[in-house]
Amino acid sequence: MRDNTWTRWPSREALGHVGISRPRRLIVRAVRLLLLGILLWGAFSQRHVGVWGALVAAAGVALAGLVSWAFFRTTYEHRLVPSLALMGVLLGVAVAAEVTGFRRPALVVWCACGVAALERLPLGAAVPVTAVALASYSAFTNDVWLTTAATVAGMALAGYVLRLDAEARGSSQRLLAQERAARAAEAESAALAERARIARDIHDVLAHSLSAQLVHLEAARLLIEKGADRKRILERVVAARGMARDGLAETRQALSALRGELTPLEDFLAELVSAADGAGVTVTGERRNLPAEASQAVRRVAQEALTNVRKHAQGARVDVRLDYSEHEVTLSVRDFGGRPGDLNGTGGGYGLLGMRERAELLGGSLDAGPDEEGFVVTLKVPV
């Protein structure tokens, strides 16, 4: 059976003390001390109270305090039957106090039971308990009916208002806990994404570079075993050395990116094309800082494209364009003419396929292919 308004308990956050401000806690303690003082004063201010009567009254007050504490605990644990049993004990204490002549303590206990039941019990159980408690108060009080009616209505309203206030506090506590959990999940997700980015950087920089070095060194070993001439063996060793040099440079650049020490993208492209004969760079749009991964993608695509020009179209004129638009950045590397180069050059070691995969992970695209005058590589990355 699904809980509804009448059978649903106030949440544990509402019944607990978490989220209650210090001034409010002081007020609650003051009210409890006031009620205790009223009970003690009402018990010992009667003229007929002797030594034994005082002892019995003190025992009654102590019993009411102990049962009240137990009632607060059982309601916090959402145990209905023990809570109702403890509430019955409190009502019985009030009846016993009335029978033995301690009317003021009895009236206080009845009012407190009515308020506490509405505040802490499910409404289906709270309404009958409150009705019995406040009806008992109305039956034994000496006030005029109008004052009695106002007091009963005030007690019922106070209990319900306290219930609503506690529920609001409990809801805020649950929302706060959910927000903290969401922030923790977001931080964990960001950490995992950063780890994945670092893993891709390490793979891009080291995996291909080391595997290419291994290929060249293995080829050199086979040439040595076959007794090949010194020049062919040296070419393989030089190629492996170039791979190691480029891989070390790329590793340093990746570490700089992780530390946030990258040079501005425009300066990087200018430095990159300065090392290539017949290359120029053009920047359009409003320049701005890019996210680290987008900046890394642009840098590596530019490196790979210029490396391919050096390998496959030596002597070609290269035009590098970087365009900043509102929602994306576009890199275009176009070569014009040139002659076939040495396919065994060291190269950047990543390949346009890997760069295309990186662009797609960022939600962008990479297109590469021949055009009317040469070869063009175009990268688009959303920012």
| 172-213: pLDDT as tens digits | 888 888 888 899 888 888 878 777 767 776 666 676 677 778
CA 227/CA 143 separation, integer angstroms: 121
Q: Please name the helix (run of DSSP H) or strand (run of DSSP E) that holds residue 10, with its range, or none.
A: none
- Collapsing DSSP states into helix, strand and coil, what is residue 283? strand
* Site of tokens 């109305």: 138
Q: Give the strand order in the sheet containing 374-382.
A: 279-285, 317-324, 328-336, 374-382, 365-370
CA 310/CA 304 separation, integer angstroms: 10
Q: Provide the 8-state DSSP code for 339.
A: B
Q: Please name the helix (run of DSSP H) or strand (run of DSSP E) that holds residue 320, with its range, or none.
A: strand 317-324
> CB under 8 Å to 86, separation ≥6 — which residues?
67, 70, 71, 74
Q: Give the pLDDT of residue 85.
A: 93
- Collapsing DSSP states into helix, strand and coil, what is residue 142? coil
Q: Give the pLDDT of residue 48.
A: 54
CA 239/CA 224 separation, integer angstroms: 16
CA distances from 225 to 218, 219, 238 (A): 11, 10, 18
CA 376/CA 294 separation, integer angstroms: 20
- The pTM of this model reads 0.50
pLDDT at 346 over 50: no
What is the arithmetic mean of pLDDT over 32-60? 61
- Contact between 378 and 319 under an 8 Å Cβ cutoff? The reply is no
- Pick the residue with more confidence: 17 or 288? 288
> How do residues 227-282 score in pLDDT, each as one tens digit?
888 888 888 888 888 878 877 777 776 666 666 666 788 888 887 777 666 567 88
Q: Give the pLDDT of residue 348.
A: 42
CA 337/CA 250 separation, integer angstroms: 28
pLDDT band at 89 (very low <50, low <70, confident <90, very high): very high
Q: Give the pLDDT of residue 261.
A: 60
Q: Give the pLDDT of residue 330.
A: 92
Q: Please name the helix (run of DSSP H) or strand (run of DSSP E) that holds residue 299, with its range, or none.
A: helix 292-312
Of 49-53, 223-227, 262-266, which range is least confident? 49-53
pLDDT band at 132 (very low <50, low <70, confident <90, very high): very high
- Contact between 328 and 364 under an 8 Å Cβ cutoff? The reply is yes
| Protein fold of 263-383 | Heat Shock Protein 90 (3.30.565)
Q: Give the pLDDT of residue 59.
A: 79
CA 266/CA 23 separation, integer angstroms: 59
Q: Give the pLDDT of residue 273.
A: 78
Dihedral of alpha carbons 307, 308, 312, 316, sign = negative
* Nearest one of 178, 165, 172, 160 to 19, comparing CA atoms: 172
Contacts by residues 31-40 (CB-CB < 8 Å, ≥ 24 positions apart): 35/108, 35/112, 36/61, 36/65, 38/104, 38/105, 38/108, 39/64, 39/105, 39/108, 39/109
- Collapsing DSSP states into helix, strand and coil, what is residue 347? coil
Of 30-34, 158-162, 352-356, which range is least confident? 30-34
Instruction: Name residue 360's amino acid.
Output: E
* Nearest one of 15, 14, 53, 57 to 36, comparing CA atoms: 57
- Contact between 253 and 211 under an 8 Å Cβ cutoff? The reply is no
pLDDT at 223 over 70: yes
> CB under 8 Å to 305, separation ≥6 — which residues?
333, 352, 368, 377
Of 17-31, 41-55, 142-156, 266-280, which range is least confident? 41-55
CA 234/CA 223 separation, integer angstroms: 10
